[in-house]
Structure 1
Amino acid sequence: MTDRMKRPGGAGWGAAVWITGVFALLAALPLATSGRLPERVATHWGGEAPDGSMPLWAASAFPALIWAVLALGAALMTRRTDAPTPSWTGATLAFTGVFMAGTQASIVRANLDRADWRDAGSVGLGITLTSVAALAAGALGWIAGRRGERSSPAAEAGEGTSMEIPAGERFVWLSRTTNPWLHLIAAVTGVAALAAALAAAGGLLTGMQWVVVTPFALASVLTLAFSSVQARVTEKGLEVAFGPLGWPVRRWAPQDIESSRAESRTPAQVGGWGYRLSGLGTTVMLRAGQCLVIRPRKGAEFAVSVDDAERGAALLNTLSAGRPE
């Protein structure tokens, strides 16, 4: 049995944008507020009061350099593994990026409008909130990485409208597609939302801050949710999962599917990219070309753009034919 799952190249784009965005934020935040900061910036606290400082340029360059070295090391280690985005890489980059960016924002906020670094305020609350957010981001990065590492066997069969399945044999067919441009859009809007949220937390953005944060955050979540798709066929039928976390999910039992086929479709035919409703029914269009198309016994046709659609359709036809209506 063989696995026909396609490697998700869009994850590399997302990681690159995330690394670049965090680097820019770490380096630019102190410099962008330099007019409101002392010449030396408090950077270490022994309690409520600061006990260490750096020149403004060092407070900008040092965290950015640490992040660049860490990201480079993670990238080099990833190239030496079989998986394109191992779970530990996603967790490390997500946790460290959020923690360092939040810490930098807390430091800048504590130093704002202070004549001397020794008068800087406390960073305790900011670091606590940042730690919680970083842990959540690390968990999401780990989950997304685990999904990228999955490898499962698929049914052996030739092309055709159906295939023979030996009695008692277990099987699964998998195929995954990602759109790197949608990943890039999700990453860019996500970084913009994070930067706006950190700026608001640091007192750099006042008034209508949530009007700025919310649209970027919503656009990032929705775009990411429909930037990748995975189709899976088992004895239970067809399951189509969206996004890096595999949610939301649509499912059809074998007895609910009248027929399945492979068909070539383009974005122009279905009205664009993503989750599209048209005269052809529902199409999940992430790249032009081959799609797995099912005709449910109730409702409109559903198509998803994945590789090896002939094999998935043949297996579904076999399952549907072998189940009583």
Structure 2
Amino acid sequence: MTDRGRRSTAAWGAVGWCVGVLVLLVALPPTASSRLPGRLATHWNAGSGRPDGSMPLWAAALFPALLWAVLTAVVALALRRAGTGADGAIPGWAVAGLGFGGVTLLGGQASIVRANLDHANWRDADSVTSWVVGTLVVAATAGAIGFLAAQRAPAQTPPATDGPVLDLPAGQRLVWLARTSNPWLQAVSAVTGLLAIAVAVAVLAGLADPPAALAATPFALACVLVLGCSSLQARVTERGLDVTFGPFGWPGRHWALEDIESARTENRTPAQVGGWGYRLSGLGTTVMLRSGECLVVRTGKGKDFAVSVDDAEHAAALLNSLGARPAR
């Protein structure tokens, strides 16, 4: 994927998160309006835990949305001035800020709705202390995960070569790196993740019974699995071939040089291998993230493993040359 493609994927992911959080913040109070008082308790006394401030329902819906809009605008302006990373990715501080801020506001909105639910007067609202503490813990975790995911160093692909093998100078250590991602799979992961969050927020707000949280499980599972198959990084060194998946580089697979019989390139399409992602077919195992050139290695067991990466010819040549060295 080109730098422009990476920037586009990162930008659309950020936009999807920002819009999704905004919609949930605005929609949550009106959705439960039939079970809420005319004014909602929105502030609680730190000592007694009793409500001491309120807002009309429309203001309770728009105020956190306004805070979120201001936060996203500040991050956008800061990114415009500072620029994205060398790979076109959004910096870790921005990912952490948007993750922490979004989860905090969503948890706060859900806590307010739950505390006011089925009360005729806002002064009778329940305490939110435990919910606020839980929200901050989850938000801090989400921010840390986002920061760590964004900190992964981008792979730099060396220039391509024309031959199937390379003339390797004696004693010189070489490495080949490439990274590929599929924006459509990342979009599917984002949508299923937002659906899981929407269900979880509805349960936390008391709009659905706790067993309904099970409905979020398939969406959350789909989000994690699709995200793990939406990007990969391939690395060739004197140790062999390493292929890692997802934003955290886990899980991964490793083949030592002595376990690789040969390496080559092939042009493959999703139709040939049975679809996108991690596929098993008559051609062997293929990690298909985009159509076109793939690096294909044949193991000593006679099985093929293919991965769709740019500059696959260089990787195949380096693997064959390293494997042909007298001393490994």
Residue-by-residue CA offset, 1:233-271 (whole Å, 9 max, x unaligned):
122211111111111101111111111112111001111
Moved more, 38-47 or 18-27: 38-47
Where structure 2 has 5 or more consecutive residues not aligned to the other structure, the ranges are none
Residue-by-residue CA offset, 1:8-32 (whole Å, 9 max, x unaligned):
3433332222111111111110111
Moved more, 34-43 or 214-223: 34-43
Match of 2:76 in 1: 75
CA distance in 2, matches of 1:58, 1:286: 45
Match of 1:274 in 2: 277
Check if 1:245 corresponds to 2:244.
Answer: no
**Partner secondary structure for residue 310 of structure 2:** coil
Q: What is the one-letter code of the residue matched to 1:55?
A: P
Where structure 1 has 5 or more consecutive residues not aligned to the other structure, the ranges are none
Residue-by-residue CA offset, 1:255-311 (whole Å, 9 max, x unaligned):
111111121110011111111101110000111111111111125201111111111
User: Residues 319 and 183 of structure 1: is their aligned pair in 2 closer, same or farther, counting only changes over 3 Å?
Assistant: same
CA distance in 2, matches of 1:323, 1:137: 49
**Partner secondary structure for residue 298 of structure 1:** coil
Moved more, 281-290 or 6-15: 6-15
Give the deviation of 1:167 after TM superposition: 3.3
Match of 1:22 in 2: 21
Match of 1:145 in 2: 150
Match of 1:103 in 2: 108
Check if 1:162 corresponds to 2:165.
Answer: yes
TM-score normalised to the size of structure 1? 0.92
Give the deviation of 1:151 after TM superposition: 4.0
CA distance in 1, matches of 2:111, 2:308: 44
Match of 2:59 in 1: 58
Check if 1:186 corresponds to 2:166.
Answer: no
Q: For the aligned residues, what is the CA RMSD?
A: 2.0
If asked which structure has higher relative contact order (CA below 8 Å, sep 6+), I would say 1
TM-score normalised to the size of structure 2? 0.91
Match of 2:320 in 1: 317
Percent of aligned positions with the same letter in both sequences? 57
Match of 1:293 in 2: 296
- Counterpart mapping for 1:171-210 below 5 A: 171-206=174-209, 208-210=211-213
Q: What is the one-letter code of the residue matched to 1:78?
A: L
**Partner secondary structure for residue 250 of structure 1:** strand
CA distance in 2, matches of 1:10, 1:235: 32
- Aligned partners of 1:153 and 1:171 also within 8 Å: no
- Aligned partners of 2:267 and 2:292 also within 8 Å: yes
Match of 1:12 in 2: 11
Size of the aligned set, in residue pairs, is 320
CA distance in 1, matches of 2:156, 2:106: 41
Check if 1:114 corresponds to 2:119.
Answer: yes
- Counterpart mapping for 1:224-235 below 5 A: 224-235=227-238
Moved more, 266-275 or 208-217: 208-217
Residue-by-residue CA offset, 1:12-69 (whole Å, 9 max, x unaligned):
3322221111111111101111111112111111221112211111111111121122
Give the deviation of 1:175 after TM superposition: 1.0
CA distance in 1, matches of 2:185, 2:62: 31
- Aligned partners of 2:236 and 2:318 also within 8 Å: yes
- Aligned partners of 1:5 and 1:174 also within 8 Å: no
Match of 2:218 in 1: 215
Residue-by-residue CA offset, 1:179-210 (whole Å, 9 max, x unaligned):
11111111111111111112112211116413
CA distance in 2, matches of 1:6, 1:245: 22
- Aligned partners of 2:26 and 2:62 also within 8 Å: yes
- Counterpart mapping for 1:77-92 below 5 A: 77-79=78-80, 80-83=82-85, 84-92=89-97
User: Residues 35 and 271 of structure 1: is their aligned pair in 2 closer, same or farther, counting only changes over 3 Å?
Assistant: same
**Partner secondary structure for residue 51 of structure 1:** strand
CA distance in 2, matches of 1:86, 1:104: 27
User: Residues 240 and 162 of structure 1: is their aligned pair in 2 closer, same or farther, counting only changes over 3 Å?
Assistant: same
CA distance in 2, matches of 1:186, 1:305: 20
- Aligned partners of 1:161 and 1:314 also within 8 Å: yes
Give the deviation of 1:122 after TM superposition: 0.6
